[in-house]
Amino acid sequence: MPSFIEALRIQRWDDHRYYHHSLVNQSLHLLSAIGFCIAYLLLFNDPAMAALIGWVVSMSSRQLGHFVFEPRGYDHVNQATDEYKEAVKVGYNIKRKIWLIVIWAGSPLLVWYSPTLFGLLPTPQSTVQWLRQVGYIWFVVGIGGLIFRVTQLCLTRGVQTGLVWATKIVTDPFNDIQLYWKSPYRLLRRKVAEAEQALAAEDADRDAIEAPQH
């Protein structure tokens, strides 16, 4: 059995190499990581606001990168099918993420059904207070999602795997900043290069059309 640190390194490396090819996805993960760091600073003083930032800013940008910008076909770099990667994914694969997102998106209905969250909180008197109630629900959803998957992993893959994944999730924002802080610059440089190539191709086509015929 690998050591805890080595197992953490492997999980981080597999996550990076399998699921973060796109520079857009990497850039969105950088935004997500910064949002999570802000949420961490607020966590003990204002958990509702921390949850709002964590879900609206960080989780939304993170999952947008995965669902929209990350390629889902055959991974030629790692010679792995998408089905294989989804099967061996330690944390939340696409199917598990969809269920988590459905629960997250539907959970504010609890505030509509019971504005006091069944007597646990005061009745919201403004939109801000209503949003804070939603923040408390999302805080519980986030913690619950973490505990649920850690418990699953401990029961199916061993206690170390579950604890390593929990450590990875909690420290991902710091690791993502270290990995992807250059990604926006690299993405911008690529876009500029593509634009320059497109302009050069247009100029070449125009010159070919305007060239005198002999």
Query: What pLDDT digit, counting tens, does each position of 92-134 carry?
Result: 988 999 999 999 999 999 888 888 877 777 888 888 888 999 9
CA gap 127, 184 in Å, rounded: 35
Helices (H), the chain: 4-19, 23-42, 47-52, 60-64, 82-88, 94-106, 109-113, 127-156, 159-180, 183-210
Strand partners, 92: none
CA gap 14, 66 in Å, rounded: 15
* Band of pLDDT at residue 206, cut at 50, 70 and 90: low
Residue 8 CA, distance from chain mean position? 18
pTM: 0.86
91: CB partners within 8 A, 6+ apart: 15, 149, 165, 168, 169
Which residue ranges make up each domain of the chain?
A: 4-181, 182-214
